[in-house]
Every structure is written in C-alpha cells, then in structure tokens.
Amino acid sequence: MVILIQFVPRQIGNNGRIKDGQILVSMDGSSWDEIATITNWADTSEPKMMEFDEPVKSLYVKLVATENYGDGRDFITAAMINLFEDITKGEVETPEDIPEEIPTPDEEEKP
C-alpha cells in the first residue's frame, strides 16, 4: 500500500527532469489507474514528494512525464525513486492476489 513517492532527479544537468506528469498504479501490469498528477515540479536536483490522502494498493507503479526539462527529447531521468508505505496504522496489508513470483510487464509480453 503506497502512501508516498519520492522522486530524486538527476543531480547534474537537467535533461529528463520531470516538469509535469502522472503517477499510475496497477495490480496486473496491464490495466492502469491514474492516482496523481504532477504539476510544475521545479527544475532542481532537490527531491520531490507526492503524498496520497489514502494508501494505494498496487503491485506496479508507473511514473509518466507529460513534459520534461532539458533539450526537448522525450525521456525521464532519475537518481532514485522511492516508494513508501505507512506501517504506523497497524499491520501492513498484503494483497491476497500477489503471485509467488511477480513477472515484470515486459516478461508477460514475451512469446
């Protein structure tokens, strides 16, 4: 159950730093739900935080830039992306439908 995402931009240069974007989650890696919109993040190397009002159940998290800083190419760079869950409110909930081994979305698409 994700409660906060911390995005640490690249530390040198600004190519690929996120200005605007979306945070999406999925339980299966195929069907995605937007849970937050990123608006006008500063073009700095300082960490950015996105905290949710309620914990979000997910197996996959996708960070999508709709606009980025830099030379105009369409990509994202990051020094680090951290996902946090709030364990102070009791036991950590584990989705019952998590398989023993979680395939990445790319592995599922291979023949």
E strand residue ranges, the chain: 2-8, 18-26, 33-38, 48-56, 60-68, 80-84
8 A C-beta contact, residue 35 and residue 24: yes
Q: Give the CATH number of the domain where residue 47 resides.
A: 2.60.120.260
Domain limits at 49? 2-90+97-109
Residues 61 and 17: their CA atoms lie apart, in Å, by: 18
Give pLDDT, residue 56.
87
The 10s digit of each residue's pLDDT in 40-69 is 999 999 999 999 888 888 889 999 999 999
The 10s digit of each residue's pLDDT in 72-94 is 888 899 999 999 987 776 555 56
Looking at the structure of the chain, the number of domains it has is 1
